Amino acid sequence: MTFDEASQRVAALRAELEHHNRLYYQQAAPQISDSQYDALMRELQQLEQQHPQLCTPDSPSQKVGGAPLESFASITHKVPMMSLDNTYSQEEVAAFYARLQKGLGREQVRCVIEPKVDGVAIALRYEAGVLKHAATRGDGRVGDDVTANVRTIAGLPLRLPAGMQGDIEVRGEVFIGHQGFARMNAEREEAGEALFANARNAAAGTLKLLDSRQVAKRPLEAIFYAVADAGGEAITSQREVYQWLGRAGLRRSDWFVEVLGAQEMLEAIAQLDDQRRRLPYDTDGAVVKVDEWADQAELGLTAKAPRWAMAYKYQPEQAQTRLIKVDIQVGRTGALTPVARLEPVFLSGSTVSNATLHNFEEVERKDIREGDWVIIEKAGEVIPAVVEVLKNKRDGSEVVVSAPACCPVCGSAVQRDAEQVVIRCPNASCPEVVRRRLEHFVSRGAMDISGLGESVVAQLVQLGLVRDVADLYQLDVLSFSRLERVGTKSVDNYLRAIANSRQQAPWRLLFGLGILHVGAGVARKLLEHFGGVDAVAAAGPQELMQCPDIGEAVAGSLHQWFREPVNAALLERLRSSGLQLTQQQVEKQGEQLAGTTWVITGTLSQERETVAERIRAHGGRVSGSVSGKTSFVLAGSDAGSKLEKAAKLGVRVVSEAEFEAMLAG
């Protein structure tokens, strides 16, 4: 490559890397994988090494991350937040250790290895033991002030123990764990909102929200691994950093190993790769650090990264297969979602034949075509995703996938939302929208009409017996007799379940209506605040936002839904069918639990909602997540991570028998 060619390639690489930096750090919407980004960076570094005159201070190879967002105040880091050099090669790990030996002039160098949490880098500053501010990495020199958002993280100490009163700065990662991510996406699906593709993007997007009340609803967590300023306390090694973090009440890594020598280093990295899938959060590599701070100081820094640390990045488990077809799923809110149908392939312990493509904007950006050979991986080890199209394997038979102009089921012209991301079918009578809404309405979390599964609902819609949820209450024996493979006993059960649902709490009805952004928790809070569905329907946006945790998006969606004539008519038909629209006052049975907050987890002898109502009837309140404000965790069998969180926060866990004893006084 000539100098001119190198100069042109360097300019192109810089522009591309800056583009991806903005997507990753400012918009939390990366378009390429870490390995692809690293390959671009490595090519740039190699060209700059070959032509030193092309290496300038503003090169992406000489800085970290992206500029802080204009919507946040800026904080200048007293100690710059540097990034780490990384590699995917075991040979480079051995070469790194050889550089340590040479730099320190001795054969053995003690190092420590810990997981590289796939989150958002954060710096916390404590002054006189009190949390002063929290900042993102930003460009390594200046970051965004996200203090209000970080303060919402459950379990994060806002004040350090009495013996730690100096000016102290710690570094770590903010992330969303596996269970929190699954729960958050389930809630978004219930509310008809777009799902997050992965936990890292969800955490980054959450930190950038301007309303900390909304942040508090997201399951953010934080883990720490470094002390940038110890406030005068004598810390001499990374091992002591971990001890200090424990004394400070700051969460540390769940895995930490000391090694001597390149071979031990590689063995530990392999061991972590095997064990990291059992960690409660996403990891994408192993971080290797020289243990002794004196050794770190002697080895020094480059312009971008310390010479005494590196990250070994694990290759994500991937598979290659052919994308046969792109289908379009129509959701209960009318959202049209492209889904890749694949030739079945075994990946990460299971056979994958489908992968979400999220939206048509992503299909266009990645130029995904029917017939393409693609590489898939499980994002966050769970969700199959198409990460790359193998365009060099195209033979000309591939078919371009275009965003539909009409709903594939009913033919209605589609509508795009304000951000031009989600495409929706606006037809409330679309058979697929009707079917999805009915499935949601009868589900256990909504009106709980047992027995009306997907096959029964599909037949009811196909035969034209049900066009909306109110039609369910007009069904009779003759209606059900038209269904295939449905016996007399089943018909009796269906009719009994429909009749019983008339007495369900009105929050279940509000949730069951499938209004955009209105999940079960939101529906309950609205009914507790307004007392009835009619009052919610009559309220304006500002009145709705007076209800705790109701923001502008939810208020706008509710207000618009109830102003549609077809929905107003639907509500009247449900009222005429005898459904409960007014919240019944919880009959107080005592004050044994007054002032307490409960979290229910695991399998109990009663339905969870029944237990929750009993708690409320005795003066307590029920929350969905464990926090410092939780009084008790009621645990049944097969309880999960909530027990671990309760233990960390010192929250008392009680059995069902102990709970009954408390109610009995």
Q: What is the tens place of the pLDDT at every residue in 587-600?
A: 667 788 888 988 89
CATH of the domain at 538: 1.10.150.20
Return the bridge partners of 176, or none: 220
Q: Is residue 365 part of a domain?
A: yes
What pLDDT is recorded for position 179? 86
Looking at residues 97-122, what average pLDDT do you find? Answer: 95
Which range among 534-548, 591-605, 633-647 has the greatest average pLDDT? 534-548
pLDDT 10s digits, 158-184: 888 888 878 899 999 999 998 888 888
What pLDDT is recorded for position 185? 82
Q: Are residues 305 and 322 in the same domain?
A: no
> How far is residue 167 from each of residues 91, 142, 577, measured CA to CA in Å?
41, 19, 65
Q: Is residue 69 part of a domain?
A: no
Q: How confident is the model at residue 64 (pLDDT cuts 50, 70, 90)?
A: low
Question: Contact at 8 Å (CB) between 411 and 429?
Answer: no
- Report DSSP state, residue 57: T
CATH of the domain at 169: 3.30.470.30
Q: Is residue 584 part of a domain?
A: no
Euclidean distance between CA atoms 43 and 40, whole angstroms: 5
Q: Are residues 93 and 28 in the same domain?
A: no
Q: Are residues 373 and 477 in the same domain?
A: no
Q: Is residue 423 part of a domain?
A: no
* Range of the structural domain that residue 350 is part of: 318-416
Domain end residue (candidates: 518, 543, 576): 576
**Half-sphere exposure of 10 toward its Cβ, with a 13 Å CA cutoff?**
23
Looking at residues 641-664, what average pLDDT do you find? Answer: 85
Residue 264 makes CB contacts below 8 A (sequence gap 6+) with none
Looking at residues 13-24, what average pLDDT do you find? Answer: 78
Assign 353 to helix, strand or coil.
strand
Q: Are residues 203 and 83 in the same domain?
A: yes
Looking at residues 603-626, what average pLDDT do you find? Answer: 81
Q: Is residue 422 part of a domain?
A: no
Nearest CA to 383 out of 420, 435, 329, 340 is that of: 340
CATH of the domain at 26: 1.10.287.610
Q: For the chain, how long is the longest CA-to-CA vector?
A: 90
Number of domains the chain is built from:
5
Q: Is pLDDT at 26 greater than 60 in this prediction? A: no
Catalytic site includes residue 525:
no
What pLDDT is recorded for position 391? 94
Q: Is residue 12 part of a domain?
A: yes
Q: How confident is the model at residue 442 (pLDDT cuts 50, 70, 90)?
A: very high
Q: Are residues 308 and 161 in the same domain?
A: yes
Q: Return mean pLDDT, the chain.
A: 87
Own/partner long-range contacts of 391-394 (Cβ < 8 Å, ≥24 apart): 391/367, 394/369
Residue type, 392: N
Other Cβ atoms closer than 10 A to 415: 12
Q: Are residues 187 and 85 in the same domain?
A: yes
Residue 291 makes CB contacts below 8 A (sequence gap 6+) with 110, 111, 112, 237, 238, 239, 258
Q: Are residues 572 and 625 in the same domain?
A: no
Q: Is pLDDT at 417 greater than 80 in this prediction? A: no
Looking at residues 316-339, what average pLDDT do you find? Answer: 90
What whole-number percentage of the chain has pLDDT above 70? Answer: 94
Euclidean distance between CA atoms 65 and 254, whole angstroms: 27
Assign 467 to helix, strand or coil.
coil
DSSP per-residue letters across 228-276 = EE-TT----BHHHHHHHHHHHT----S--EEEESHHHHHHHHHHHHHHG
Residue 398 makes CB contacts below 8 A (sequence gap 6+) with 369, 370, 371, 372
Q: Are residues 601 and 630 in the same domain?
A: yes
Candidate list 63, 78, 116, 313, residue with the active-site label: 116
pLDDT 10s digits, 551-571: 888 999 999 999 999 999 999
What pLDDT is recorded for position 69? 56
Q: Are residues 409 and 299 in the same domain?
A: no
Q: Are residues 83 and 57 in the same domain?
A: no
Q: How confident is the model at residue 58 (pLDDT cuts 50, 70, 90)?
A: low
Predicted TM-score (pTM) of this structure? 0.62
Q: Are residues 264 and 143 in the same domain?
A: yes
Q: Is residue 67 part of a domain?
A: no
Q: Is pLDDT at 517 greater than 70 in this prediction? A: yes
What tokens appear for 605 in the block? 């002898």
pLDDT 10s digits, 195-223: 777 788 889 889 988 888 888 889 999 99
Q: Are residues 32 and 47 in the same domain?
A: yes
Q: Is pLDDT at 503 greater than 70 in this prediction? A: yes
Q: Is pLDDT at 27 greater than 80 in this prediction? A: no
What pLDDT is recorded for position 381? 47
Helix or strand run (H / E) with residue 520? helix 520-530
pLDDT 10s digits, 115-136: 999 999 999 999 988 899 999 9
Which range among 101-115, 346-360, 605-619 has the greatest average pLDDT? 101-115
What whole-number percentage of the chain has pLDDT above 90? Answer: 46
What pLDDT is recorded for position 28? 58
Q: Is pLDDT at 495 greater than 90 in this prediction? A: yes
Domain end residue (candidates: 272, 298, 313): 313
Q: Is residue 425 part of a domain?
A: no
